[in-house]
């Protein structure tokens, strides 16, 4: 991979001395300058990447950017092993991956193998109960995760507390499994935002009316119960 000395460079690069020859190997740039190039290459990418049945292929992440192709394209990752190893983190950095359903999430995440560790923000739509356990098992590999939004199951009908009970029983290994301390379990609870689908009618208020959206107070209740269960489990 070569860079021409006549090309317009990203801000922060022009002040550095570059060989006067017509071209120079990109790999000869200092690592901190290559990092600036990667950041610039992906700076035109959409911040939300929506993934559904039509684009589950992990071969070209740029095609997932809601119709807006990354500047430089994700094909940059195919240049060589050095570029791939250095550029893949900026591609994931501070982007939210939005999945229409948990099935889509569970199918796509294994395709990106160890790169799941770079995902920072996740939103998952429709959540069948049979897939929730696998989802949380996959999340254990997302070590850079900063936020995670998950929709309550459509198959369970009941109050918010009932949904929390059902959710905890399936997901608890993520919060209190082997190697997860009490403090880490609570930290993981704080990453989660619970939600209800736009057409979902299975989450009920105490008076059995449909709960159409979760407020900040509802989220606080969800987190309170999950942290209580983390404490109880770790005390047992």
Each residue's pLDDT tens digit, 151-194: 999 889 999 999 999 999 999 999 999 999 999 999 999 999 99
pLDDT at 164: 97
Alpha carbon 222 to its chain centroid, in Å, reads 21
Query: Which pLDDT tens digit goes with each residue over 119-157?
Result: 999 999 887 778 999 999 999 999 999 999 999 998 899
pLDDT at 71: 38
Query: Which pLDDT tens digit goes with each residue over 70-103?
Result: 434 466 777 888 988 888 887 788 788 888 889 9
- pTM, two decimals, is 0.75
Q: Cβ(128)–Cβ(103) under 8 Å?
A: yes
In this prediction, residues 5-15 reach a mean pLDDT of: 52
Lowest-confidence pick of 1-10, 122-131, 208-217: 1-10
Cα dist from 142 to 63, 122, 148, 162, 191, whole Å: 22, 10, 10, 27, 12
In the predicted structure, residue 6 carries a pLDDT above the cut 60: no
Residue 31's CB is within 10 A of a number of other CB atoms, namely 9
DSSP 210: B
Count of all residues that appear for the chain in the document = 236
In this prediction, residues 29-51 reach a mean pLDDT of: 78
Alpha helices in the chain (DSSP H): 31-41, 81-92, 102-108, 129-139, 160-176, 182-191, 216-235
Cα–Cα distance for residue pair 64/53, rounded to 1 Å: 11
Q: Looking at per-residue confidence, does 15 or 70 come out higher?
A: 15
In the predicted structure, residue 18 carries a pLDDT above the cut 90: no
**Best-predicted range by mean pLDDT (9-18, 102-111, 199-208):** 199-208
100, with CB counted inside 10 A (0-12, 13-18, 19+), is: middle
In the predicted structure, residue 199 carries a pLDDT above the cut 60: yes
């Amino acid at each position: 991979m070569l860079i021409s000395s006549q090309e317009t460079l990203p801000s922060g690069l022009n002040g550095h001395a570059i060989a006067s020859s017509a071209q120079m190997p990109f790999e000869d740039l200092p690592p901190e300058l290559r990092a600036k190039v990667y950041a610039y290459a992906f700076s035109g990418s959409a911040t939300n990447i929506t993934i559904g049945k039509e684009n589950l292929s992990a071969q070209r992440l740029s095609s997932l950017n809601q119709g807006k192709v990354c500047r430089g394209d994700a094909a940059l990752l195919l240049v060589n092993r050095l570029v791939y190893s250095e550029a893949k983190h900026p591609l994931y950095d501070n982007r939210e991956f939005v999945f229409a359903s948990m099935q889509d999430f569970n199918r796509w995440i294994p395709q990106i193998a160890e790169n799941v560790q770079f995902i920072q923000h996740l939103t998952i739509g429709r959540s069948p109960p049979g897939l929730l356990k696998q989802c949380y098992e996959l999340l254990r590999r997302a070590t850079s995760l900063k936020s995670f939004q998950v929709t309550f199951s459509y198959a369970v009908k009941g109050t918010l507390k009932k949904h929390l009970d059902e959710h905890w029983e399936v997901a608890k290994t993520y919060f209190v499994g082997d190697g997860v301390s009490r403090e880490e379990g609570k930290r993981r609870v704080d990453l989660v935002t619970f939600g209800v689908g736009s057409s979902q009618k299975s989450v009920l208020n105490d008076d059995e009316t449909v709960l159409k959206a979760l407020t900040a107070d509802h989220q606080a209740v969800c987190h309170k119960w999950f942290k209580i269960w983390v404490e109880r489990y770790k005390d047992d």
